[in-house]
C-alpha cells in the first residue's frame, strides 16, 4: 500500500474516535501515505495525528448554504480535483453516509483498489444503506460496536489484521498545545472543568446535580470552571455557577485552545460530547456522563483515569459521579508517580 484515503468528515467525537485507524494502517505499512477527508472545521484537529500526510477539507455544510454563489461551486470543483490529485491503493469510508460514500467514489484509484465501507448500521447510528452502492466491499460489524472499534474493523479489512492493541489518538504536539495561552494565565491552581453543554437536550445532566457536585468539589479544593459555545449554553453555565461557590464561567475559546485547558485541569467532568471525548483521548482524569445515549458506543476504555457513568435512560446521581471523580484523580496521581524519574544514588549521573 503506497497511499490510502480515509473519509470521516464529522462530528467532533466521531473524528476523534476515528484516529486509531491511522495508527493501525501505519503499523501494517509504515511507509504508506495516508490522506484524510474531514469537515473543514476539524482540519487543525486532524493535524495533531501523526501519520496523516494530507488533509482534504470538506465544506458541504457551508456549500449548501451558498449554492447560489459561484464561489461554492468553484470550491466543490477544487475539492474533486484534490481527490484525483493522488492515486489511492485503498479508500476507507468509516462514516457510512451517502455523502461520504459519494466522496469515496470520487477518489482516483489504482487498478484493483477497493473502496471499503460499512455493510450495516450499528445500533442508533446514522448509517444510510444507499452508501453501499459506492463501495466495492462492504464490511458487516456487530450491532453493538464501539465507535473506535468500528473504524478499526474497516481498517482490518484492508490490512488483514484485526488490531489487539489499545487505541492511540493524538501525537506529542497535543500535550503542550495552548497550555501557556494567555487566555489561561489566571486559572486556579486546582480546578475541574464541567463540560455541561451538548446539542441534544436529553444528554444534559440536571443543573441541580451540577450544583451539588460543584459544591463538593469546591469543599475539596477544586474550583469548577464552566465553558460554553452559544448564548444558550452561556446562560446554562451562569445558572450552574450561581449555585457553586467560586465557580467561574469561562470566556469563549477555540477548539484548539481547549487542549490547553484540558491538559491543565485536575479533573474533567462532562456529558457525552466531543470535548469530553478529546479529554478521554488525551488520557486526562475524565468522568464521562451518559444519560440518553448508550455508553457502549463511545465510552473511554483505554486508560484507568477514565470513568464512564450512567447509560441510555439512566441518569447517574451526584454520589456516583463524585465517586468516579475521586477514582480517576487517584488513578492519575498513581500514573504520574510511575513516570517520575527515580532518584539516582549519590555520585551517579
Q: Does 349 have pLDDT greater than 60?
A: no
C-beta of residue 38 within 8 angstroms of C-beta of residue 46: yes
Of the given ranges (40-44, 248-252, 328-332, 345-349), which has the lowest mean pLDDT? 345-349
Choose among 142, 171, 140, 168: nearest CA to 25: 168
Q: Does 348 have pLDDT greater than 60?
A: no
C-beta of residue 223 within 8 angstroms of C-beta of residue 191: yes
Q: Does 342 have pLDDT greater than 70?
A: no
Three-class HEC string of the chain: CCEEEEECCCCHHHHHHHCHHHHHHHHHCCCCEEEEEEEHHHHHHHCCCCCEEEEEEECHHHHHHCCCCHHHHHHHHHHHHHHCCCCEEEEEECCCCHHHHHHHHHCCEEEEEEEEEECCCCCCCCCCHHHHHHCCEEECCCCCCCHHHHHHHHHHHHHCCCCCCCCCCCCCHHHHCCCCCHHHCCCCCCEEEEECCCCCHHHCCCHHHHHHHHHHHHHCCCEEEECCCCHHHHHHHHHHHCCCCCCEECCCCCCCHHHHHHHHCCEEEEECCHHHHHHHHCCCCEEEEECCCCHHHHCCCCCCCEEEEEECCECCCHHHHHHHHHHHHHHHHHHHHHHCCCCCCCCCC
Cα separation, 88 vs 190, in Å, equals 48
pLDDT digits (tens, 9 = 90+) for 283-339: 999 999 999 999 999 999 999 999 999 999 999 999 999 999 999 999 998 877 665
Cα separation, 336 vs 349, in Å, equals 23
Model pLDDT, residue 338: 65
Model pLDDT, residue 45: 98
pLDDT digits (tens, 9 = 90+) for 141-193: 999 999 999 999 999 999 999 999 999 999 999 999 999 999 999 999 999 99
For the chain, the distance separating the N- and C-terminal CA atoms, rounded to the nearest angstrom, is 46
More confident residue, 65 or 346: 65
pLDDT digits (tens, 9 = 90+) for 242-293: 999 999 999 999 999 999 999 999 999 999 999 999 999 999 999 999 999 9
Q: Does 65 have pLDDT greater than 90?
A: no
Model pLDDT, residue 64: 83
Choose among 221, 223, 227: nearest CA to 183: 227
Model pLDDT, residue 170: 98
Model pLDDT, residue 200: 83
C-beta of residue 180 within 8 angstroms of C-beta of residue 261: no
Cα separation, 104 vs 37, in Å, equals 9
Model pLDDT, residue 347: 37
- The cell 484507568 sits on which residue? 304
How many beta carbons lie within 10 A of that of residue 256, not counting itself?
A: 15
What mean pLDDT is reported for the chain? 94
Determine the average pLDDT of the residues in 207-233.
98
Model pLDDT, residue 333: 86
Cα separation, 328 vs 267, in Å, equals 8
Cα separation, 97 vs 229, in Å, equals 27
Q: Does 225 have pLDDT greater than 60?
A: yes
pLDDT digits (tens, 9 = 90+) for 79-122: 999 999 999 999 999 999 999 999 999 999 999 999 999 999 99
Letter string b/e over residues 164-182, b meaning 16 or more CB atoms within 10 A of that residue's CB: eeebbbbbeebeebbeebe
Cell of 237: 453555565
Q: Does 343 have pLDDT greater than 70?
A: no
Total count of residues recorded for the chain: 349
Model pLDDT, residue 346: 42
Edge-first strand order for the sheet with 223-226 is 248-249, 223-226, 191-195, 267-271, 286-290, 306-310
Amino acid at each position: 500500500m503506497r497511499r490510502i484515503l480515509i473519509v470521516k468528515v464529522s462530528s467532533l467525537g466521531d473524528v476523534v474516535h476515528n484516529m486509531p485507524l491511522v495508527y493501525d494502517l501505519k503499523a501494517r505499512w509504515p511507509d504508506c501515505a495516508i490522506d484524510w477527508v474531514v469537515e473543514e472545521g476539524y482540519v487543525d484537529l486532524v493535524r495533531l495525528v501523526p501519520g496523516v500526510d494530507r488533509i482534504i477539507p470538506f465544506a458541504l455544510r457551508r456549500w449548501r448554504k451558498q449554492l447560489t454563489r459561484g464561489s461554492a461551486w468553484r470550491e466543490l470543483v477544487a475539492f474533486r480535483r484534490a481527490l484525483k490529485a493522488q492515486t489511492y491503493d485503498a479508500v476507507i469510508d468509516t462514516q457510512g453516509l451517502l455523502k461520504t460514500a459519494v466522496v469515496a467514489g470520487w477518489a482516483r484509484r489504482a487498478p484493483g483498489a477497493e473502496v471499503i465501507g460499512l455493510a450495516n448500521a450499528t445500533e442508533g447510528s446514522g448509517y444510510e444503506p444507499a452508501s453501499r452502492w459506492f463501495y466495492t466491499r462492504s464490511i458487516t460489524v456487530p450491532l453493538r460496536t464501539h465507535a473506535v472499534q468500528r473504524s478499526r474493523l474497516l481498517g482490518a479489512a484492508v490490512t488483514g489484521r484485526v488490531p489487539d492493541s489499545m487505541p492511540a489518538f493524538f501525537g506529542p504536539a497535543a500535550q503542550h498545545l495552548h497550555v501557556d495561552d494567555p487566555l489561561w494565565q489566571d486559572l486556579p491552581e486546582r480546578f475541574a472543568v464541567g463540560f455541561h453543554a451538548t446539542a441534544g437536550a436529553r444528554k444534559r445532566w440536571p443543573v441541580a446535580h451540577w450544583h451539588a457536585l460543584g459544591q463538593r468539589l469546591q469543599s475539596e479544593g477544586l474550583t469548577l470552571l464552566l465553558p460554553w459555545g452559544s448564548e444558550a449554553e452561556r446562560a446554562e453555565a451562569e445558572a450552574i455557577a450561581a449555585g457553586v461557590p467560586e465557580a467561574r464561567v469561562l470566556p469563549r475559546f477555540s477548539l484548539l485552545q481547549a487542549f490547553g485547558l484540558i491538559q491543565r485541569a485536575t479533573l474533567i467532568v462532562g456529558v457525552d460530547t466531543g470535548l469530553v471525548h478529546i479529554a478521554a483521548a488525551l488520557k486526562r482524569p475524565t468522568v464521562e456522563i451518559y444519560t440518553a445515549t448508550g455508553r457502549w458506543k463511545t465510552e473511554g476504555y483505554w486508560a484507568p483515569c477514565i470513568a464512564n457513568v450512567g447509560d441510555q435512560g439512566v441518569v447517574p446521581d451526584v454520589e456516583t459521579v463524585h465517586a468516579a471523580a475521586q477514582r480517576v484523580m487517584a488513578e492519575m496521581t498513581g500514573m504520574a508517580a510511575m513516570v517520575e524519574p527515580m532518584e539516582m544514588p549519590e555520585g551517579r549521573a
